[in-house]
Amino acid sequence: MTELIYLKDSYLREADAKVMEVLDAGVVLDRTIFYPRGGGQPSDRGKLVVGDSIYEVTEVVKDSGKVIHIIPDQKPDVGDIARAVIDWELRYAHMRHHTALHIISGAVYHLYGSDVQITGSQIYRDRARMDISLESLNKEKAAEIIELANKIVGEGRDVVYRFVSREEALAMSGLIRVRPDLIPNEPVLRIVEIAGFDAQLDGGTHVKNTREVGSIKLAKLENKGKRNRRLEIILE
């Protein structure tokens, strides 16, 4: 099993890792700072450096429990020690947009209560969107959500990671707003907390203080089905 370093430290841009397995598509490492696509966050990109050789990592995916670093051309060998380097500009953009979505979902919860469901989200380098099951969501309400979110950004709240057992997560199911039957059956889970405002069960990467998000702007509000409304945001 690859150690997922990015779960503990989202800010690590470089780290050494050992090549454990070479597949047709890419390689498996003993530890990784690369985020594999999932949970609405795109994968990292970057490179593995072994001596004078540079291997471009174009995408990273999770497949049957393995984190596969996709390398289109020639691959390093099993046992090689590689310097892993991620495309930090891309990663940091994902971290800021991802954290913005947490703040917005917290704002939705604070304004409209726990019966409102977040039904999907997608993060990009330059924008992010969230689908909310709230039929009455209109421009005015969206503006209120964004206003509260920007207030939280401006307060400079800490964003902290907490590792809990499945039992602890079950006991927190109200707080983290996950139906108990949807809590993954894994021994250790990670809670992402925006101090005093929001807590979610989540495996993505985030900034460590809300101020790093910058100013959230509503870019678009669309109807997606009878109850679903899609909020798209950009950051400035």
Residues 6+ apart with CB under 8 A from 225: none
Stretch that binds Zn ion, among 11-19, 63-71, 175-183, 197-205 (CB under 5 A): 197-205
Size of the chain, expressed as the number of residues it contains: 236
**Residues linked to residue 59 through DSSP beta bridges, in sequence order:** 70
Shortest approach of Zn ion to residue 82 CB, angstroms? 27
Stretch that binds Zn ion, among 68-76, 127-135, 165-173, 201-209 (CB under 5 A): 201-209
Shortest approach of Zn ion to residue 40 CB, angstroms? 8
Stretch that binds Zn ion, among 138-146, 148-156, 165-173, 198-206 (CB under 5 A): 198-206
**CB nearer Zn ion, residue 76 or residue 106:** 106
Q: Side chain identity at 75, as an amino acid letter?
A: K
- Sort strands 31-32 and 3-4 into parallel, antiparallel or unpaired: parallel
Distance CA 70, CA 60 (A): 6
Q: Which single residue is written with the structure tokens 């979902």?
A: 105
**CB nearer Zn ion, residue 80 or residue 198:** 198
The strand order across the sheet containing 128-133 reads 117-123, 128-133, 228-235, 216-223
**CB nearer Zn ion, residue 44 or residue 80:** 44
202 binds Zn ion (CB under 5 A): yes
- Cβ(104)–Cβ(150) below 8 Å: no
Shortest approach of Zn ion to residue 139 CB, angstroms? 26
Stretch that binds Zn ion, among 61-69, 107-115, 161-169, 195-203 (CB under 5 A): 195-203
**Residues linked to residue 217 through DSSP beta bridges, in sequence order:** 234
204 binds Zn ion (CB under 5 A): yes
Binding mask 146-185 for Zn ion (x = CB under 5 A): ----------------------------------------
**CB nearer Zn ion, residue 40 or residue 76:** 40
Shortest approach of Zn ion to residue 38 CB, angstroms? 11
Structure tokens at 87: 């495309």
Shortest approach of Zn ion to residue 130 CB, angstroms? 12
The secondary structure of residue 215, as a DSSP letter, is -
Shortest approach of Zn ion to residue 72 CB, angstroms? 29
* DSSP-derived 3-state class of residue 201: strand
**Residues linked to residue 218 through DSSP beta bridges, in sequence order:** 233
* DSSP-derived 3-state class of residue 4: strand
Chain residues that interact with Zn ion, rule: CB under 5 A: 202, 204
